Structure 1
Amino acid sequence: MSAMLQALRAHAASRPESIAIDPIGEAPVTYAALVPLVETKAAAMRCQHGGQHGDPESAGTPVVIRMDHGLASAVLELALLHAGIPVLSLPAFFTPEQCHHAMMVSGAGAVPCLATGRSASSPLPRGTARITFTSGSTGTPKGVCLSASHMLGVARSVVEAVGAQHAGRHLALLPPGILLETVAGFFATMLAGGTYVCPPQAEAGLADPFRPDFARMTRGIAAWRITSLILVPEYLAGLVRVMEETGLRLPLLSLVAVGGARVPPPLLARARALGLPVRQGYGLTECGSVVSLEDASGDAPGSAGRPLGHMRARIAPDGEILLEGPLYLGTLDEPRGHGPLATGDIGRIDESGRLWIEGRKSNLIVTSFGRNVSPEWVEAALLAQDGIAQAMVHGDGLPAPEALIAPARTDADLAAAVAAANACLPAYARIARWREVAHFTPANGLLTGNGRLRREAITAAWLDREPAFFTELEAATTRARMAFLAIPQVQAGLAGAISREMYLRYLAQAWHHVRHTVPLMQAARARLAHRPELVAALDDYIAEETGHDEWILADIAAAGGDAASVRLSAPAPATRAMIDHAYGRIRAGNPAAFFGMVYVLESVSVALAQRGAAAVAKNLGLPAEAFTYLTSHGALDQEHMRFFADLVNGLPDPDDRAAITAMAREMFALFGKVFAGIAMEQAHALA
């Protein structure tokens, strides 16, 4: 019997009616009910996929999991662990290319939910229970193989370190598939006999985990009576900001563990002033997630706490942190070597045995004055400023550090924020120059799944050469996009929290502007007839877009609306204003400006298709035929955006680039007014 199932059975015997899994949107499951669910699922998975059958040294072909949080995924995780079947967990934010790579190198089959592996022998080290792909900042990430005993040992150490009294109601907030949440959140909660609260991400304000709705998240924590969380620093900053602005407090929380990156001490101070019991930790995938965690005293802000009972840490002569204890089995490429794990992190251990993380060995900046500067140190000072969402510090060989900065708000004063950060730094570490950029995300390849900067990719995009125009366009329109995404109607749509009537009103306005797409393209084509490269692109767009207005009318009918009435109706004033503005720009200005409208409408379609359509369909119970425009157009626009980027990157004329950028900013504002003009029921407006 697996160690996890033994623990579940013990809880079921001692307090059978205690809630084990609470998925929020469906009935909770007690420990008494969970045990047979896990055993039945494990037996079925063994029959379907094979398993260890009691041999802990075997390693079968992995089963792929790519699911949202919920009861089904929780039971499946426990069943596969009990059955001895290796798991390849793929986060939802992985690109198709990343998923394909992970499956091919691990010997697994197809996604999105479950698949058996191929008939070929598995390349996994013996005893592998989980393959997790490290975020990595360079090259292709490697698949790290972990054993069940290792992961459960880490989970037990977490329980021992924080105390079983914290096994109340733990809320899963980190994206599904993140090892830290699986081991230190889910497995630790199950071993301690707590309740794992695992709503779908959209319900917790995380329809897009990299653009969270922190207000919704905070309300959920309060309403669901949550007692413990695991956060990354960005989530903690958002939670603190909402609590400061609204006055809401969360007195039931007894543990808020923060990992994934260094937490700026000022943020820790703000969190603790609000009563949040924050403990910073440190971990690595190769160590099964958690290595160290602060104790409850909080008397050394900024430290990562003492190593957990199963780990030992020491510092190499060059400052690198070395770890000894239970480690990973190896990667998919090679077995693990002997000796301590060289982490690549620079740190120190104080006289009380606490670990302090001070940067990455490979990221050190050496200025032209010969001063060594850890970029993470300067980044922490920048991120402590309220107006800065993300920052990457660079400057090796330059007189002083420089930074790429993404704003946290549409009204952020980045100059003032940089000045405030510099005031906290010694002269040699102060930012000399900075540049505002678009946010780093997994989608654009500049951020890892657990929130770490992909420094080499960012350097290639922004620093190695003059940035591509598409990269500059994203940066120049970042604040306009943020303002658009903050519109309540847009937020409600992305979260699926709209009524059928509101969806029909949206489709009606979509029809009114989409039916002008081809005529607008034809008008632009006529004025660009002397530019064959743009004419060819417009011809492709015209062929692709023709008939999409009829898709929308069909969706209206499938959703129970009156398509004939919409066809005869007049557009709303905001919709008419957007259409008229587009015609005016094309006819009287630089017609290349039309591509700024293309950029806005297609990027918005991608967001609505990826984040909104499924949530709306689920909440409203409408058939798939009511969403053909959103879902199909979203898939098309992902291809279109790649085509669009290549197209505009080939435009050398500064006038064309300026016209496209100006039009994009204008269209975000005008399209935002279209959404803002859609009537919204009071219940949804307050949700």
Structure 2
Amino acid sequence: MNGLLETIRGHAASRPRQVALDPVVSAPVTWSELATQVADMASRFANEEHGARPHVLRLDHGIEEAVTELALLEARIPALSLPTFFTEEQARHAIATCGTESAYSSVSLPAPSRMPLGTARVTFTSGSTGTPKGVCLSASHMLAVAASVVEAVGAEHAGRHCALLPPGILLETVAGFFATMLAGGTYVCPPQAEAGLADPFRPDFAAMAQRLADWRITSLILVPEYLAGLVAVMERTGLRLPLLTLVAVGGARVPVDLLARARALGLPVRQGYGLTECGSVVSLERADEDVPGSAGRPLGHMKARIAPDGEILLEGEMFLGTIGEPREPGPLATGDIGRIDDDGRLWIEGRKSALIVTSFGRNISPEWVEAQLTAQPDIAQAMVHGDGLAAVEALLVPARADADLAAAVAAANAELPAYARVAGWREVAPFTPANGLLTGNGRLRRKAIEAAWLADKPRFFDELEAQTLRDRLRFLGIPQVRAGLAGTISRQTYIDYLHQAWHHVRHTVPLMQAARARLLDRPDLLAALDEYIEEETGHEEWILADIAAAGGDADAARVSDPAPATRAMVEHAYRAIEEGNPACFFGMVYVLESVSVALAQRGASAVAENLGLPPEAFTYLTSHGALDQDHMAFFAGLVNALESEGDRAAILRMAREMFGLFGGVFASIEMGDAPMEDKHVAA
């Protein structure tokens, strides 16, 4: 197959001024411009000394990311694509395993020859263990998959395809980006925050739906969670997306009722199935079929059959192998259980390794039961377990503060046969990539979840997160908090927030000192407090500097009185430390530091962009947010080591109280008129 650059040049010759890349936030790139940019960058890459080592690619969606992808492919330099949500530890592991150049001086680089010959891309999935393997793919394989997608879908759908899946996810790269390039459509590649995905695992679906309408998007690739979020918004608001001609959904099994709800709203949803080893796409529903639950027929580059034990086996275009391990010849055993109907359609019925066998001898696919549970609006996430038990049980994450999980389980059970109904359930903290319980594309890491919640006694930090989740959800529902995270606040509102931050942050060290004075017989906690005191000293001055940089009066802030809600929060903290168990102070630490991480990661950049304020106006939020990410890891280790039930109860009680009191501080801030948002509607 010819390289993509040759195809791009063909488009440039026939439609030089048509838009090839639209980043939304800046000027689009035409086919003529794209051909030149890719050729120039590929030439520069070819003149550099890369050897066989891959080029690390870890960028947000946009022109730079897209052109770099294409240039590396043309220069025949392997790309090590790292999703932006990977932790630093995951990134280091991937880089070290590949033996590539990196910004991490501490990484030990093995010989680069461990990659199979012909590798064009190395993709690290989150994997089932803490040390996943890098899957190596050739250029011909990826382009063959992309061509099969175009053939199955039809070039008439090559309109305006929008990248919503996180950058670095193979499914979007191959079936979205490469396929759009082959078909001659426009690849809309905004930064994730612009599409409501500042946190891809907690999307702002209302913003996402509106952007898709504003940007005139015609095709998407989604995971089921994104589809569910869009459907819920469209049902609630009445918004419709009539320009969409294709919505491909993959990554996990899609509940049949969700497909029906989506299609009732006019969404042209097609369910698909794929694996990284197969270039991300194996099968896709046809547009002229309406067989809910089917994953469609295998595309032209693949063949599927079913093993005697029900496992799906695949043959055709495949990966080259993993780092240090060439692929074994023969069909690929997928680990997925399924069937092929008389019309050649593939049906996915669960994971082979996750099958539950009850003590009644019934085989149950947990994904089936989980799909019924998460179809309930009150359940955000679910993991079903119960191998060897009389009936299955579930770990549930509530979707909102007032979620009625008992009623939701009852509703799900009503749709299940008696042998598959959930007999018991437990409310737990969210499963995320950050805590190692979710893969990058939204799959449950079952063994890790079992280790965290089902083996022996859960760690106290996990229990703390679970038992305060509803308090956190109430806090995040406060209009001022939501506006701050979205960046839609006025400059005066931001300055008012800084005023109140100064009034409570200036008490941080005195509160620590008060707790320390009552914990002199606890050397384990004294050491932690001493470290916190050293780290936190002087942070209130950062806030005053931010007030000045934002155009406020720092001197006036210094002599002002705190708002009643702020005073109440601080006074409660002193009183709890002085009159109760002083270890309760760490409950306040948990709330303030976890909240500051969210404000720093999601709010600061959004506010800065909308208000046009300089970085100097956000030193407290951004610096404190980075510090608190490290603090939270330290904090988790500290509280997990606490054996006293009295200490744990005091910390939990203070955390729940502080979510309410800190929420009161935000709620007391007046909401001024925010600047009109520039929606960056593409021309």
| TM-score interval, normalised by the smaller of the two chains | over 0.9
| Corresponding residue number in structure 1 for 2:435 | 444
Which structure 1 segments of 5+ residues have no match? Answer: 52-59
| Corresponding residue number in structure 1 for 2:92 | 100
| Corresponding residue number in structure 2 for 1:21 | 21
Aligned ranges for residues 190-269 of structure 1 at < 5 Å?
A: 190-269=181-260
Deviations 1:395-418 (Å, cap 9, x if unpaired)?
111111111011112221111111
Alpha-carbon deviation of 1:306?
Answer: 0.5
| Corresponding residue number in structure 1 for 2:496 | 505
Q: 1:344 to 1:119 in 2, by over 3 A?
A: closer
| Corresponding residue number in structure 2 for 1:39 | 39
Partners of 1:460 and 1:442 lie apart in 2 by: 15
SS in structure 2 opposite 1:432? strand
Aligned ranges for residues 654-669 of structure 1 at < 5 Å?
A: 654-669=645-660
Partners of 1:474 and 1:578 lie apart in 2 by: 21
SS in structure 1 opposite 2:281? strand
Counterpart amino acid of 2:336?
D
Alpha-carbon deviation of 1:120?
Answer: 4.9
| Corresponding residue number in structure 2 for 1:56 | none
Equivalent residue for 2:71, pick from 75, 79, 93: 79
| Corresponding residue number in structure 1 for 2:506 | 515
Partners of 1:181 and 1:487 lie apart in 2 by: 34
| Corresponding residue number in structure 2 for 1:475 | 466
Alpha-carbon deviation of 1:61?
Answer: 1.1
Contact 2:222 2:249 in 1 (8 A): yes
Contact 1:64 1:111 in 2 (8 A): no
SS in structure 2 opposite 1:682? coil
Note if 1:547 corresponds to 2:538.
yes
Partners of 2:41 and 2:610 lie apart in 1 by: 28
Partners of 1:184 and 1:465 lie apart in 2 by: 43
| Corresponding residue number in structure 2 for 1:55 | none
Q: 1:63 to 1:495 in 2, by over 3 A?
A: farther
Contact 1:233 1:259 in 2 (8 A): yes
More divergent stretch after superposition (486-495 vs 226-235): 486-495
SS in structure 1 opposite 2:68? helix
Counterpart amino acid of 1:211?
R
Which structure 2 segments of 5+ residues have no match? Answer: none
Note if 1:88 corresponds to 2:80.
yes
| Corresponding residue number in structure 1 for 2:10 | 10
More divergent stretch after superposition (87-96 vs 641-650): 641-650
Equivalent residue for 2:565, pick from 574, 589, 598: 574
| Corresponding residue number in structure 1 for 2:403 | 412
Contact 1:202 1:495 in 2 (8 A): no
Contact 2:490 2:673 in 1 (8 A): no
Counterpart amino acid of 1:61?
R
SS in structure 1 opposite 2:295? coil
Runs of 4+ residues over 6 Å off in structure 1: 116-119
Aligned ranges for residues 17-416 of structure 1 at < 5 Å?
A: 17-50=17-50, 60-111=52-103, 120-416=111-407
Deviations 1:102-152 (Å, cap 9, x if unpaired)?
00011112259xxx9979544211111100012322352110000111101
Alignment RMSD:
2.0
| Corresponding residue number in structure 2 for 1:462 | 453
Partners of 1:357 and 1:339 lie apart in 2 by: 21
SS in structure 2 opposite 1:344? strand
Partners of 1:507 and 1:677 lie apart in 2 by: 13
Q: 1:120 to 1:163 in 2, by over 3 A?
A: same
| Corresponding residue number in structure 2 for 1:627 | 618
TM-score (norm 2): 0.96
Partners of 1:2 and 1:578 lie apart in 2 by: 65
SS in structure 1 opposite 2:416? coil
SS in structure 2 opposite 1:290? coil
Contact 1:70 1:200 in 2 (8 A): yes
Partners of 1:111 and 1:460 lie apart in 2 by: 33
TM-score (norm 1): 0.95
Alpha-carbon deviation of 1:169?
Answer: 0.6
SS in structure 2 opposite 1:323? strand
More divergent stretch after superposition (254-263 vs 642-651): 642-651
Provide the identity percentage: 75
Partners of 2:9 and 2:124 lie apart in 1 by: 31
Alpha-carbon deviation of 1:591?
Answer: 2.4
How many aligned residue pairs are there? 677
Deviations 1:170-227 (Å, cap 9, x if unpaired)?
1110001000000111111111111111111111010000010011001101111111
Counterpart amino acid of 2:599?
L
SS in structure 1 opposite 2:632? helix
Counterpart amino acid of 2:643?
P
Contact 1:42 1:83 in 2 (8 A): yes
Alpha-carbon deviation of 1:84?
Answer: 1.0
Partners of 2:661 and 2:676 lie apart in 1 by: 21
Alpha-carbon deviation of 1:621?
Answer: 4.5
Counterpart amino acid of 1:199?
P
Q: 1:681 to 1:47 in 2, by over 3 A?
A: farther
